[in-house]
Amino acid sequence: MHAFDLVVIGSGPAGQRAAIQAAKVGKKVAVVERQAVVGGVCINTGTVPSKTLREAVLDLSGIRQRAYYGDAYRTKSDIGMQDLLVRAESVIKKERDVIRAQLLRNNVAIFQGCGSFDGPNTIVVENEVDRHQLGAPFIVIAVGTRPGMPDGLAVDHKTVLASDDLLNMPRLPRNMVVVGAGIIGLEYATIFGAIGVNVTLVDKRTELLDMVDREIVDALIFHARNRGVILRLGEEVDHLEQSGDGRDRAVVMKSGKRIAAEMVLISAGRVGATKDLALEKAGLSADARGRIEVNGHYQTRVPNIYAVGDVVGFPALASTSMEQGRLAACHAFGVPATTLPELYPFGIYAIPEIAWVGATEASLTARGVPYETGVARYKEIARGNILGDPDGMLKLIFHLETRRILGVWGLGTQATELVHVGQAVMAHDGTLDYFVRSVFNYPTLAECYKVAALDGMNKLRGVSFT
Q: What SS3 class is residue 464? A: coil
Is the pLDDT assigned to residue 325 strictly greater than 70? yes
What single letter denotes the amino acid at residue 241? E
What is the maximum alpha-carbon separation in the chain?
79
pLDDT in tens, 409-419: 999 999 999 99
Residue 245's pLDDT band, with cuts at 50, 70 and 90, is low
- CB–CB of 134/108 below 8 Å? no
Q: What SS3 class is residue 54? A: helix
* Lowest-pLDDT choice from 73-82, 336-345, 426-435: 73-82
pLDDT at position 464 is 64
* Lowest-pLDDT choice from 18-27, 242-251, 283-292, 337-346: 242-251
Q: What SS3 class is residue 77? A: coil
**For the whole model, what pTM was predicted?**
0.93
Is the pLDDT assigned to residue 465 strictly greater than 70? no
For residues 316-325, give the mean pLDDT. 96
Domains recognised in the chain with CATH numbers:
2-147+271-340 (3.50.50.60), 160-268 (3.50.50.60), 352-461 (3.30.390.30)
CA angle 158, 159, 163 (to 5 degrees): 75
For residues 53-59, give the mean pLDDT. 93
**For residue 355, with 0-12 CB atoms within 10 Å meaning exposed, 13-18 middle and 19 or more buried, which class applies?**
buried
Residues ≥6 apart with Cβ < 8 Å to 65: 73, 75, 388
Distances in Å between the Cα of 261 and the Cα atoms of 200, 239, 264 are: 9, 13, 6
What single letter denotes the amino acid at residue 65? Q
pLDDT at position 71 is 73
Is the pLDDT assigned to residue 68 strictly greater than 90? no
Residue 244's pLDDT band, with cuts at 50, 70 and 90, is low
For residues 82-103, give the mean pLDDT. 95
Distances in Å between the Cα of 53 and the Cα atoms of 57, 155, 174, 190, 319 are: 6, 22, 18, 12, 19
pLDDT in tens, 349-396: 999 999 999 999 999 999 999 999 999 999 999 999 999 999 999 999
Cis peptide before 147 (omega within 30 of 0): no
Within 13 Å and on the Cβ side, how many CA atoms surround 147?
25
For residues 277-287, give the mean pLDDT. 97
**For residue 165, with 0-12 CB atoms within 10 Å meaning exposed, 13-18 middle and 19 or more buried, which class applies?**
middle
Q: What SS3 class is residue 312? A: helix
What single letter denotes the amino acid at residue 453? A
- CB–CB of 91/48 below 8 Å? yes
pLDDT at position 171 is 87
Tell me the C-alpha distance between 331 and 140, whole Å: 12
Average pLDDT, the chain: 94
pLDDT at position 466 is 47
Count Cβ atoms below 10 Å from residue 288 Cβ, excluding itself.
6
